[in-house]
Amino acid sequence: MIDWAIEAWNDYGKDLKEYLQNEEVIKSIEHGDDDSYINLANLVIKKILNKGLENRCFDIGISSIHIGTDSIEVMKTGRYVGEIHLIYPVYSGTEYCKGSTTIDYYYTTIDYGSCSVCDAMQYALSSNGDERIQALMRIALTMVQNLRRMGDE
């Protein structure tokens, strides 16, 4: 686990939970097996992790830093059951600045299955109300807990 990511979850996780209350947001997540995980991971990055990184900029001597969601790499192991590895670049510079420089990579790993009994995302999206929000938040927390810096073991 990465300490600053857990701190960001503790500070901003409630913002994601609030955001997930919107039915349109849920619909934006629902786009097929892998895409649903990618869409939720992108929300975790935008609503939680990048806010946590903003707070760390001066600690690490960079004026602006963020994890990009525009050029994600996806690796999948297994056919019906396995892991999805989502690899994200880390940029110094503002999010939409053409002069942004890739300075690092982070990745997260998510287990998946082939049915709503063994796949957390299928279960979450087939649930309703508070149970759906709680299930999505459990997946989001797992993404944060599984976040690693590329090259660190």
CA geometry: angle at 124 spanning 67 and 73, to 5°?
30
Strands 148-149 and 65-67: unpaired
Cβ-contact 65, 56 below 8 angstroms: yes
Residue range 121-148, pLDDT digits in tens = 989 999 999 999 999 999 999 999 999 9
Identify the H or E element spanning 10: helix 3-19
The closest of 17, 11, 24 to 50, measured between CA atoms, is 11
**What's the domain range around 8?**
3-149
The pLDDT score that the predictor gives to residue 153 is: 63
Residues of the chain with pLDDT below 50 are: 95-97
Report the alpha-carbon distance of residue 64 to residue 54 in Å, rounded. 7
The pLDDT score that the predictor gives to residue 62 is: 59
Query: Where does residue 31 rank: exposed (0-12), middle (13-18), buried (19+ CB within 10 A)?
Result: exposed
DSSP 95-114: TT-TT-EEEEEEEEEEEE-S
The pLDDT score that the predictor gives to residue 32 is: 61
Domain count, the chain: 1
